[in-house]
Structure 1
């Protein structure tokens, strides 16, 4: 299989560290396009970063912070094709970078994480998974469902071009409230 969105060097045994909406197993299943029963997610953390909300969006980005600690999930059991689909979902504003993740039992694992290529407008607001589940999860599932219909049909660069249209369609269905999103973001520094 030719991998469209990654460099093809990723192996099925590699782990992925996720820190935002992909911590939701249902969202992960929509992104990889099948039941995620084979995917193992365990609480883990990485050092040297801080999680912030992407300006005007419902998802976070990591920014460097020397004394930072970000809790997330270590995802194992993904195939190279799964990682390719996740890369499509993340878009070309992120690149896969190896980091060391530490699990709750102290195991240290080299994992890939999606980091900003410098193209993302980062807000000063924090992002909280539990608040996201309560206020934005339904919309995020719908966004992922629509976006992933384009997998294999358009390039990573083209994803950015259709993202606003997909987001507007889903916003109109869910009555997405920018002010409520901003208030929630300010609550989690």
Structure 2
């Protein structure tokens, strides 16, 4: 059974996603997840999201990942995250069901104030992130 994935952080980078999922990323399109906010994780280059009634998170909707890719993403995201089914809104107003990894409440104290910035990640931290996670591709 294929599932859609909503990416809001490092997985918006196709090269990182392809290594993490063990597959070439399927087509993507911009999407928004309402009812969540995105925050930097203390001491890390990646973000986490948590429920927040009046907030929205921009990201990408990737279509039709197979079960094996979803299982690899569960491992990649690790124990700080739990996968949930959510509904995202596309630019044309259509709504799609997708899987997203939400920061667990037990780790919420690690989320910093403010929004995590994707452009800053790409410009200043993406290469370091790739180096830190190179071992993942051998799992």
Does structure 1 residue 128 correspond to structure 2 residue 114? no
SS at match of 1:136: helix
Does structure 1 residue 20 correspond to structure 2 residue 39? no
**1:42–1:74 Cα contact (<8 Å) kept:** yes
**2:23–2:69 Cα contact (<8 Å) kept:** no
Query: Unaligned 5+ residue runs, structure 2?
Result: none
Higher relative contact order structure (alpha carbons within 8 Å, sequence separation ≥ 6): 2
Q: CA deviation at 1:118?
A: 2.0
**1:15–1:110 Cα contact (<8 Å) kept:** yes
- Name the structure with the higher strand share: 2
Q: Greater Rg, structure 1 or structure 2?
A: 1
Query: Alignment length, in residue pairs?
Result: 137
**2:37–2:52 Cα contact (<8 Å) kept:** yes
Q: CA deviation at 1:77?
A: 2.5
Question: What is the rounded CA distance, in whole Å, between the counterparts of 2:68 and 2:103 in structure 1?
Answer: 22
After TM superposition, where is structure 1 displaced by more than 4 Å over at least 4 residues in a row? Answer: none
SS at match of 1:119: helix
Question: 1:82 maps to what in 2?
Answer: 69
TM-score, normalising length from structure 1? 0.68
1:17-166 maps to which residues of 2 (within 5 A)?
Answer: 17-36=6-25, 39-120=26-107, 121-149=110-138, 151=139
Question: What is the rounded CA distance, in whole Å, between the counterparts of 2:60 and 2:123 in structure 1?
Answer: 19
